[in-house]
Amino acid sequence: MIDVFVDNYNSFPAHKKPTAIVGCDARGFVLGPPIAMALKIKFVLLRKDQKSPGVLVEGTGYTKEYAEAHDDKMCLRLGSLTPNDRVVIIDDLLATGGTAIAGMQLVKALGATISEFAAIIALEGLDGIGKIRQADGGKYKDVPIFTVFTDAMVGNGTPGDPPIWNLKGRMVPLADAAKVQAEHKLI
């Protein structure tokens, strides 16, 4: 998977090649460093509110695809990016676009250029790409977005969802899982 991203960025013209990878908390911390090492560029942590040491720049709050008690805020360390940096922001998943937008706001606040937002998978039904394009009055409408997969590529039959679902809710109790799978011919 790392090679897919590295090959992509190595194909950029010299004046557009990234100079930094910004990894989103937390799976971007797993994806970003090997990409940055292969490209011989710096890696920067985009962390949840106040979790990094040093002087931080705090972004605005954002919501995710699931409800939480309060909005998340992301932070970058002051001085981690410069106006000369061309940044790829990377995460494992693009859902509602909240983390991506928070990262883009912080990268821009530090004066750097956003070369691309990248993720392994995009959940198209949550319209994260559309939300990124509309965010902050369309400020990020031209930022390239690269995903390896979309949930549509998986298809309805692949995850094994039953074609007809008559049970209440979408969660099956652990103790009933094998029985429900057999009843719906999923095994």
Confidence of residue 183 (pLDDT cuts 50, 70, 90): confident
Query: What percentage of the chain carries pLDDT values higher than 90?
Result: 65
Indicate if 170 belongs to the active site: no
Interval 83-133: pLDDT, tens: 999 999 999 999 999 999 999 999 999 999 999 999 999 999 899 999 999
CA distance readout (Å), 80 to 27, 95, 109, 129, 153: 19, 26, 12, 26, 36
pLDDT at residue 43, as a whole number: 98
Q: Which of 140-144, 152-156, 181-185 has the highest mean pLDDT?
A: 140-144
Q: Would the pLDDT of 41 be above 90?
A: yes
Indicate which residue of 58, 65, 77, 86 is catalytic. 65
Tokens 């990409």 correspond to: 35
CA–CA distance, 53 with 41 (Å, rounded to integer) = 21
Is the model more confident about 161 or about 10? 10
Put simply, whether the predicted model's pTM sits higher than 0.75 gets the answer yes
| Mean pLDDT lowest among 71-85, 137-151, 153-167 | 153-167
DSSP 176: G
Dig out the tokens for 66 from the structure. 């699931």
Radius of gyration of the chain (CA): 19
pLDDT at residue 13, as a whole number: 95
Q: Would the pLDDT of 15 be above 80?
A: yes
Indicate which residue of 27, 58, 77, 124 is catalytic. 27
Is the model more confident about 74 or about 66? 74
**Average pLDDT of the chain?**
89
**114 by DSSP, 3-state: which?**
strand
CA–CA distance, 82 with 54 (Å, rounded to integer) = 17
Indicate if 27 belongs to the active site: yes
pLDDT at residue 134, as a whole number: 97
CA–CA distance, 160 with 52 (Å, rounded to integer) = 40
Query: Which stretches of the chain are DSSP H helices?
Result: 2-10, 28-39, 98-109, 128-138, 151-154, 177-183
pLDDT at residue 52, as a whole number: 83
Interval 132-144: pLDDT, tens: 999 999 999 999 9
Confidence of residue 156 (pLDDT cuts 50, 70, 90): low
Dig out the tokens for 79 from the structure. 């001085």
pLDDT at residue 60, as a whole number: 81
